[in-house]
Every structure is written in C-alpha cells, then in structure tokens.
Amino acid sequence: MLVRQFKNRVSAGLLSGAMIMTLAGASLSPMLFAQEKAVSTDRNSKANGPTADNQKNDKEDLQMVKKIRQAIVQDKSLSTAAHNVKVVVVHGQVTLRGPVRSDAEKQSVEAKAAEVAGAGKVTNELTVAASAKGEKQAQVDASKK
C-alpha cells in the first residue's frame, strides 16, 4: 500500500513538473520568436538597397540573376556561404547581400556579378562573417602570447 501511494505521488509530481515546463516553454517561445523577428526586420530595414521583394519578374533581370548565380555556384573554391548570397537585380542594377567567409570571397563574388552585369552596375553589400573555427583559433593564438 505504501509503495502504491509513493508511486502515485511521484507520478503526480513528475506530471505537474512536466506541465509547468511545457507552459513555461510555451509562454517564452512567442517572446523569443518576436524578439528574433524584430532583430531580423530591423536589420533589413536599415539596408537601403533593394530586397528580393523589390525584384520583379522582368525577363532580362531574371536572366541576369540566373547567370550571376551560375557563375558563383560554378566556382568550387567559394564557401557554401558565398554560394548562397542573395542576388537581387532591379532594372539591370545588381545588389549582393549576405555573409561570406573572407574579403577575397567578397571580391570574387562581386567580380563575377560585374562580369555578367557590367562595370558600375553592382552594389556590394556582402559582409565578411568570422567563422566559429576562425574565432576559436584567434583566441588560442592570442592566449599563447
């Protein structure tokens, strides 16, 4: 009899604990999502250039996007991040956005876009994002000094 009462109390305690954790997670989840969305929206609103939403289905612009994207993806020396940059073309003007691994990649992607679009028609808004591995190595190097 005592064993049964003990099991019932433990089960009830675990169940109520699980419910509390579920409710806490459910109430935090929308707040975290809203905060993440606000950061994302804020970042995009600061960029004054065109976004993918601005790109119309203009045949020439879409062809240019396709050619630039092909040129970028065909270069296997570029990182996955560089292969996935945003390419937006509006009335023949190209805007490049997104993270790349290095300044060399940034220049390479811009050169490929300029090769297709023409000189002076590319706005480079690419950012060099430090990789976690690179940051860790820099910390190790700094600690050795």
DSSP secondary structure string for all residues of 84-135:
T-EEEEETTEEEEEEEESSHHHHHHHHHHHHHHH-TT-EEEEEEEPPPHHHH
Give me the pLDDT at residue 131, please: 61
Task: Output the CATH code of domain 52-132.
Answer: 3.30.1340
For residues 145 and 94, give the distance between their C-alpha atoms in angstroms, rounded to a whole number.
Answer: 44
Contact 58, 23 (CB under 8 A): no
pTM for the whole structure: 0.57
For residues 99 and 86, give the distance between their C-alpha atoms in angstroms, rounded to a whole number.
Answer: 9
Give me the pLDDT at residue 46, please: 46
Give me the pLDDT at residue 2, please: 58
100 strand-pairing partners? 128
**Burial (Cβ within 10 Å: 0-12, 13-18, ≥19) of residue 105:** buried
Q: Which residues contact 85 (CB under 8 A, 6 or more apart)?
A: 72, 96, 97, 98, 99, 100, 109, 126
Give me the pLDDT at residue 35, please: 46
**Burial (Cβ within 10 Å: 0-12, 13-18, ≥19) of residue 124:** middle
| Count helices and strands in the chain by DSSP H and E runs | 5, 3
Give pLDDT tens digits along the chain (145 positions): 655 665 566 555 555 555 555 555 555 555 544 544 444 444 444 456 666 666 667 889 999 999 999 999 999 999 999 999 999 999 899 999 999 999 999 999 999 999 999 989 999 999 998 765 555 555 555 555 5
Give me the pLDDT at residue 129, please: 87
Domain ranges of the chain: 1-46, 52-132
